[in-house]
A and B are shown apart, each in its own frame.
Chain A
Amino acid sequence: MPTPTRGFLGRRRDRDPRLPPGQYDVGADWPVLTAEAAPRITPETWSITVDGRVESPTTWSWAEAHRLPPSEYRGDIHCVTTWSKFDTHFAGVSVDTLLAAARPTAEAGFVMATSKTGYTTNLPLADVTGGKAWIVWEFDGRPLPVEHGGPVRLLVPHLYFWKSAKWITRLTLLARDQPGFWEQNGYHDRGDPWRQQRYQGD
Chain B
Amino acid sequence: MTEPESVVLGAGVAGAPSGGWRTATVAGVRRPVPRSVQLRLDVADRVDHLPGQHYVVRLTAPDGYTAQRSYSVASAPGDPLVELFVERLPDGEVSTHLADVVEPGDVLEVRGPIGGWFVWDGVSPALLVAGGSGVVPFVSMLRTARALGRTDLLRIAVSVRTLEELPYAGELVDAGALVVTTRESRGIRPAGRLAAEDLVPLWEPGQTAFVCGSASFADAAGRLLLGLGVAPRDIRIEQFGPTG
CB distance from A135 to the nearest CB of B (A): 17
* Distance, CA A43 to CA B69, complexed state (A): 36
Interface pair B60/A29, CB less than 8 Å apart: no
Q: Report A-chain residues with C-beta under 8 Å of the C-beta of B161.
A: none
- Residue among A15, A83, A112 with the most chain B CB within 10 A? A112
- Report B1-60 residues with CB < 8 Å from chain A CB: 1, 3-4, 6-9, 11-12, 16, 18, 20, 58-60
With A8-B97, A10-B93: A172-B60 Cβ-Cβ less than 8 Å: no
With A4-B61, A37-B226, A52-B3: A118-B233 Cβ-Cβ less than 8 Å: yes
Interface pair A147/B4, CB less than 8 Å apart: no
Asked if A125 CB lies within 8 Å of chain B CBs, one says no
Asked if B164 CB lies within 8 Å of chain A CBs, one says no
Of A69-77, A149-157, A176-184, the segment with at least 4 beta carbons within 8 Å of chain B is A176-184
Q: Report A-chain residues with C-beta under 8 Å of the C-beta of B65.
A: 10, 12-13, 15
CB distance from A70 to the nearest CB of B (A): 28
- Report A13-30 residues with CB < 8 Å from chain B CB: 13, 15, 21-22, 24, 26, 28-30
Interface residues on B, range: 35 or more
Of B73-81, B103-111, B138-146, B185-193, the segment with at least 4 beta carbons within 8 Å of chain A is B103-111
Interface pair A186/B116, CB less than 8 Å apart: yes
Chain B, residue nearest A2 (CB): B60
Query: Which of B7, B101, B118 contacts A8, CB < 8 Å?
Result: B101
Q: Report B-chain residues with C-beta under 8 Å of the C-beta of A1.
A: 60, 64
CB distance from A122 to the nearest CB of B (A): 9
* Distance, CA A13 to CA B93, complexed state (A): 12
Interface pair A31/B242, CB less than 8 Å apart: yes
With A1-B60, A30-B243, A38-B222: A82-B68 Cβ-Cβ less than 8 Å: yes
CB distance from A170 to the nearest CB of B (A): 7
- Report A170-202 residues with CB < 8 Å from chain B CB: 170, 172, 174-176, 178, 180-182, 184-186, 199-201
Interface pair B9/A8, CB less than 8 Å apart: no
Chain B, residue nearest A13 (CB): B65
* Distance, CA A3 to CA B219, complexed state (A): 40
With A1-B60, A5-B59, A185-B12: A32-B243 Cβ-Cβ less than 8 Å: yes
With A22-B66, A32-B215: A51-B232 Cβ-Cβ less than 8 Å: no
Interface residues on A, range: 35 or more
Interface pair A36/B232, CB less than 8 Å apart: yes
Asked if B241 CB lies within 8 Å of chain A CBs, one says yes
Asked if B175 CB lies within 8 Å of chain A CBs, one says no
Interface pair B115/A178, CB less than 8 Å apart: no
Asked if A142 CB lies within 8 Å of chain B CBs, one says no
Q: Report B-chain residues with C-beta under 8 Å of the C-beta of A11.
A: 67, 93
Interface pair B232/A117, CB less than 8 Å apart: yes
CB distance from B134 to the nearest CB of A (A): 14
* Distance, CA A88 to CA B141, complexed state (A): 39
Interface pair A32/B233, CB less than 8 Å apart: no
With A5-B60, A8-B59, A37-B225: A118-B8 Cβ-Cβ less than 8 Å: yes
With A7-B97, A38-B222, A39-B232: A184-B116 Cβ-Cβ less than 8 Å: yes
28 contacts between A and B (CB under 8 A): A3-B60, A3-B107, A5-B97, A8-B60, A9-B62, A10-B61, A10-B93, A12-B65, A13-B65, A15-B65, A21-B66, A22-B67, A24-B93, A29-B242, A31-B243, A32-B219, A36-B236, A37-B223, A37-B232, A118-B8, A120-B9, A172-B4, A175-B3, A182-B117, A185-B11, A185-B117, A199-B111, A200-B18
Interface residues of chain A, those whose CB is within 8 Å of chain B, are 1-13, 15, 21-22, 24, 26, 28-39, 51-53, 81-83, 112, 114, 117-120, 147, 170, 172, 174-176, 178, 180-182, 184-186, 199-201
**Given A39-B232, A147-B215, 10 extra CB contacts under 8 A:** A9-B62, A11-B67, A12-B65, A32-B239, A81-B70, A117-B8, A181-B7, A182-B117, A185-B12, A186-B16
Q: Top 4 nearest A-B pairs by Cβ distance?
A: A118-B8, A37-B222, A185-B116, A118-B9
